[in-house]
Amino acid sequence: MKINRLIPVFFLLFPGMIAYSQDEEQKSESKEKIKTGWTFGGVPAIAYDSDVGFKYGAVVNFYHFGDGSTYPKYRHSIYLEWSRTTKGSGINQFTYDSEYLIPGIRVSAEASLFTEQALDFYGFNGYESFYNHAFEDDDADNPLYISRMFYRVDRKLGKLRTEFYGSIIEKKLRWMGGVEYTSNRIGTVNIDKLNKGKDTVDMLPDIPLLYDRYAEWGVIPQDQADGGHTTLLKLGIIYDTRDNEPNPMKGLWTDLQFLISPKFLGSDYDYTRIALTHRQYFTLIEKKLSFTYRLSYQAKISGEMPYYMLPFVYNTAPNLTRDGLGGAKSIRGVLRNRVVGDDFAYGNFEFRWKFLRTVILNQNLYIALNTFTDMGMVLKKHPVDISGVPAAERAVYFPDEKESLHIAYGAGLHFALNENFIVAVDYGRAVKKEDGKSGLYIGLNFLY
């Protein structure tokens, strides 16, 4: 049986969601407990894909609450993820977040290495690059099949990031500044490696993929085809009145960032981007039901952006992503990196219902149901040169389609341990077949 996307086959919530704390016992087990000292939550990372292999590993988040006076807000957070697949893809990620390391300054830091042997790549400018599922569907009766890896590339992404946040007005209005270095190494999918150990009937054909064709035709410039280096200086301002960071019931969260890539700091290209994101939270039923939305506009305002830096969506801590529009962190149900361009906008609209609160094994737990609609689109195209594309291929890969909204909808469950460690399960469906069919996502935290 072939599986074209990572599908979770096993997810341990209890007792895989483990927690420990050094808090004192309270007399009443039915009341929410104030956590003190260190706690942690962890889940296994387990999935399977017939092309990428069996995924295994773990995600652990440590929280320190001190004497409990700030609970449910933590004093220090350390997030660790280590996962691998049997054919070489992997995540090695460390993040740290605290408002107490430097008094009065929030520090957010990351050191990560992502190795992806089959990263989604669908071209540029949304619907102006045609996606045809038949090209990757290896059904024996499908005459259009090319390869299950046709819309994939190999990417090795290294990242080092440090950001600082300070108060301007009572912590509601804050400044931010930081630096982020990324190393992108991109190439075609290693077909020989993925075919190792496969039966002949399951083997991938060793033929040019979409990335190879783009590089050959000059759609991807020759000096960008293999990736490159980027150092971003980050400057911004944040207005935040949320009542609870992991899952607010009321308040605003708006941030404006300027992302500057200067060559004198090691970047291959000079450019400047802007990222403006607004989120708002409304209580409909006290402590139980809320409505939330997020709107974001992100655009290039000067310079030239290399294609390998297009599929990134920027948010302020602790909500950070490493992918473009589509997928788990932006438009759930739409293919990851489907919506890529110089300028884009997206929105999320979500109801959240905390329908169960309890205490289990001395740990505070609530379960929430969410329903959502996500959408986004390219507002300014990334310039591409298609003069080198054979005339017969232009109609296939660059049809006369206009970009429009990419829309998906769905629902999910969230399991929150001690208000901070939140396991999220979301399922989204795309409205148009050109955006894929659906997506199931298991990870951590609410989307925003």
For 248, counting Cβ atoms within 10 Å of its Cβ (0-12 exposed, 13-18 middle, 19+ buried), the class is buried
**What is the per-residue pLDDT for 23?**
43
- Please give the model's pTM, rounded to 2 decimal places: 0.84
Residues 6+ apart with CB under 8 A from 190: 88, 117, 154
Q: Do the Cβ atoms of 380 and 300 come closer than 8 Å?
A: yes
With H, G, I as helix, E, B as strand and everything else as coil, classify residue 325. Answer: strand
- pLDDT at residue 49, rounded to an integer: 55
* Positive or negative torsion for Cα 120, 124, 127, 129: negative
Output the six-digit token pair for 328. 């788990």
From CA 345, how far away is CA 325, in angstroms rounded? 9
Q: Where are the domains of the chain?
A: 38-444
DSSP state of 308: G
In this predicted structure, what is the pLDDT of residue 197? 82
What is residue 152's predicted lDDT score, i.e. its pLDDT? 95
Q: How far apart are CA 260 and CA 267, in angstroms?
A: 10
Tokens of 227: 């990736």
What distance in Å separates the CA atoms of residue 172 and residue 165, rounded to the nearest whole number? 11
So what's the architecture of 38-444 in CATH? Answer: Beta Barrel (2.40)
What is the chain's length? 448
Residues 6+ apart with CB under 8 A from 246: 72, 416, 419, 420, 422, 445, 446
Q: Where does residue 68 fall: left (phi above 0), alpha (psi -120 to 50 degrees), or beta otherwise?
A: left
Residue 73 has what pLDDT?
A: 83
pLDDT at 27: 37
Q: How far is CA 168 from the centre of its chain?
A: 29
For residues 133 and 433, the answer to whether their CB atoms sit within 8 Å is yes
Low-confidence ranges of the chain (pLDDT < 50): 1-30
Q: What percent of the chain has pLDDT over 90?
A: 67
- Angstrom distance (rounded) from CA 127 to CA 340: 10
